[in-house]
Chains A and B, each alone.
Chain A
Amino acid sequence: GQQLNQSPQSMFIQEGEDVSMNCTSSSIFNTWLWYKQDPGEGPVLLIALYKAGELTSNGRLTAQFGITRKDSFLNISASIPSDVGIYFCAGLTQGGSEKLVFGKGMKLTVNP
């Protein structure tokens, strides 16, 4: 089935560093969503993007909806230990489908 290409698959950073991750697709998406999942928990919505070119911030997080509608990135600035987790991108395609298409996730490790 359709899937988003999420990269990198994992990152190991020091506390205080910034981190960037992105998702790309060959298909056009109407909505891009970024989620964080902690072990044994459900994904928690971080940022939702609805317009091409939209740049949205949520605290230390910033995400952008690519102008081509085929990509999105998420930046985390000044990382802290509680940023550890798995970050998923997800998108809703054109055509009215309600099903989310997910990336494979990026595992973030932050060393104190």
Chain B
Amino acid sequence: GAVVSQHPSWVICKSGTSVKIECRSLDFQATTMFWYRQFPKQSLMLMATSNEGSKATYEQGVEKDKFLINHASLTLSTLTVTSAHPEDSSFYICSAKHQETQYFGPGTRLLVL
């Protein structure tokens, strides 16, 4: 149990385009999901907390207009990287809260050309 999926697993896009990443809790409902970014050989960096039915809470230094988060249902949160630039290339990972524990998705590798 407690499985979280992400789609797509990897994406390549041109600079200036927008990319949407989906995070789904497959066998449980999650009122709270989290979006992380991970740079090579580093730990996970929390970008924002996604709450079902309300606005996301962004960490300091994360542009909310750049990284749009929507948590429209108890099993789905989406992260849209708007007007992507090469510096947005990274590994994006979501997690979902379930019984005082966070379960992570498999991650999405984004490459912006």
To the question of whether A and B form a pair in one complex, the answer is yes
Seen from chain A, the residues whose Cβ lies within 8 Å of a Cβ on chain B are: 31, 33, 35, 40-45, 48, 50, 88, 90, 92, 98-100, 102-105
CB of B102 within 8 Å of the partner chain:
yes
CB of B6 within 8 Å of the partner chain:
yes
B interface residues, how many (CB within 8 angstroms): 23
Minimal beta-carbon separation of B54 from chain A (angstroms):
13
User: Can you report 17 residue pairs joining A to B where beta carbons are below 8 Å apart?
Assistant: A31-B100, A33-B101, A41-B106, A42-B4, A42-B95, A42-B104, A42-B107, A45-B101, A45-B104, A88-B44, A90-B102, A98-B32, A98-B49, A99-B46, A99-B49, A100-B34, A102-B43
Seen from chain B, the residues whose Cβ lies within 8 Å of a Cβ on chain A are: 2, 4, 6, 32, 34, 42-44, 46, 49, 91, 93, 95, 97, 100-107, 109
Considering only CB atoms, which chain B residue lies closest to A90 in the complex?
A: B102
B100 touches A50 (CB 8 A): yes
Residues of A within 8 A of B97 (CB): 98
* A40 to B34 CA separation, bound complex (whole angstroms): 18
Residues of A within 8 A of B42 (CB): 104
Known contacts A98-B32, A99-B46; A41 and B107 CB within 8 A of each other = yes
